[in-house]
Amino acid sequence: MSNKLVRVLLTVALIGGSLGYLFYTTLSKDTEYYKHVDEVMNRPKSWYGKRLQLHGFVVDKSILVNDKTLEYRFTLQNNGQVVTTAYRGVVPDTFKGGAEVVVTGRLDGGGFHAESMTAKCPSKYDPKVGNPAGVGKASGTSGGGE
């Protein structure tokens, strides 16, 4: 092999190895799993310490709050599996018993420790019964021609 070919191959290998290492280290830190409560709680120890987005429903009357520290403790459930969840911070307006919630954080032997939370309230956005498309709703105008 010529000296020039060896240099090109070494350069390509060095650049390829550097990019591979960069992708590996970047992706491994920010990798996050999106799972439902029942998927995680079937084998909780295998999820300990991993970053998760955990999807479930708040069990009615399970919310405990410390108003001074904004610490919330509640139970999430899905398909009969439950997990105790802790969150500190301001909660969304739609956070209440029965709400569909996605929390981001880590699981350990003490439960799920959430760093962020998104609460959904699908019933708030469902169309009215009998008028599925919302056709003919009053919009504050006469509805007449232009």
In a domain? residue 89: yes
In a domain? residue 50: yes
CA distance 4 to 39: 55
In a domain? residue 145: no
Q: What confidence score (pLDDT) does residue 68 get?
A: 92
The pTM score is: 0.65
Q: What confidence score (pLDDT) does residue 31 get?
A: 73
Residue 106: exposed, middle, or buried by beta-carbon count in 10 A (0-12, 13-18, 19+)? Answer: middle
The number of distinct structural domains making up the chain is 1
Which element (helix H / strand E) includes 125? Answer: helix 122-125
Mean pLDDT by 10 residues, the chain (146 residues): 87 90 71 91 93 94 93 96 95 91 94 92 59 51 46
Q: Give me the CATH number covering residue 114.
A: 2.40.50.140
In a domain? residue 121: yes
CA distance 53 to 30: 12
In a domain? residue 99: yes
- Per the structure, the complete domain to which residue 40 belongs is given by 31-125
Q: What confidence score (pLDDT) does residue 100 get?
A: 93
Provide the 10 A C-beta neighbour count for residue 93: 9
